[in-house]
Amino acid sequence: MPLPALFDLSGETAVITGSSRGIGKAIAHRMAEHGAQVVVSSRKADACEAAVAEINAAVGREAAVSIPANIADKASLQALVDKTVERFGQIDHLVCNAASNPYFGPQEGISDDQFGKILQNNIVSNHWLITMVVPAMRERKAGSITIISSVGGLKASTVIGAYCISKAADMQLARNLAAEYGPDNIRVNCIAPGLIKTDFAKALWDNPDILKASTSGAPLRRIGVPDEIAGMAVLLAGKAGAFATGQTFVIDGGATIA
């Protein structure tokens, strides 16, 4: 049965950072399911290879490959881009999903190193990677870039303040780049998940009190799962998202409107 044209990514290549687990892996899986060749990338090669094996088994073809990279290392990101182009010829879609949050607590207690790491990995590294893939997209007059932000970028926090600052900056990065690259038919958007059951967010959902506070007032009254973010990433990469750019798409069970 052919895929609906609006969501068909057949013959296209997507690079997804932080995709050996959680939201990134769900996005890689669903993009592969919709026909794309996907590059699974995170720091640990064994984790990438395990995700690749899982995705390929699920979709029934060799859709995913592993190219590990450290987002904090500019040379490592360039190698990710170069190896992908060498393997597949081009990068049609980039999903900047990898992020860091080494500190949980009041803003006044964060160390300079922790603050710097958050800003580097969650903003600057996205900027680096985007500038590496965009020149070829501009030549082709086609491409999509999706940054995984967070509803934290829309709200105040007393426990993950620096992370929220970085995620707000990602939204502005998407707006700026959408304006800059739009004339070349390159779309840049953010997805802002609410609380999702991932290892990355465990400090928020593993604590029953925090989980209750985060979900009790939301219309859907529950935490999300990674696969509930993946569909939007597929939409934004496909023809269904062809007129969307510079936007932040909130997927949070209604928490921010409650």
Q: Catalytic amino acids?
A: 163
Distances, alpha carbon 26 to alpha carbons 54, 128, 139, 141, 204, in Å: 11, 24, 30, 28, 20
Strand 93-96 vs strand 37-41: parallel, antiparallel, or unpaired?
Answer: unpaired
Q: Are 72 and 81 in contact (CB under 8 A)?
A: no
- Which one, of 134, 128, 2, 145, lies nearest residue 75 by Cα? 128
- Which one, of 58, 94, 53, 101, lies nearest residue 198 by Cα? 101
Q: Are 32 and 57 in contact (CB under 8 A)?
A: no
Q: Are 193 and 150 in contact (CB under 8 A)?
A: yes
Strand 248-251 vs strand 64-66: parallel, antiparallel, or unpaired?
Answer: unpaired
Phi–psi pair at 68, nearest 5 degrees:
-65, 150
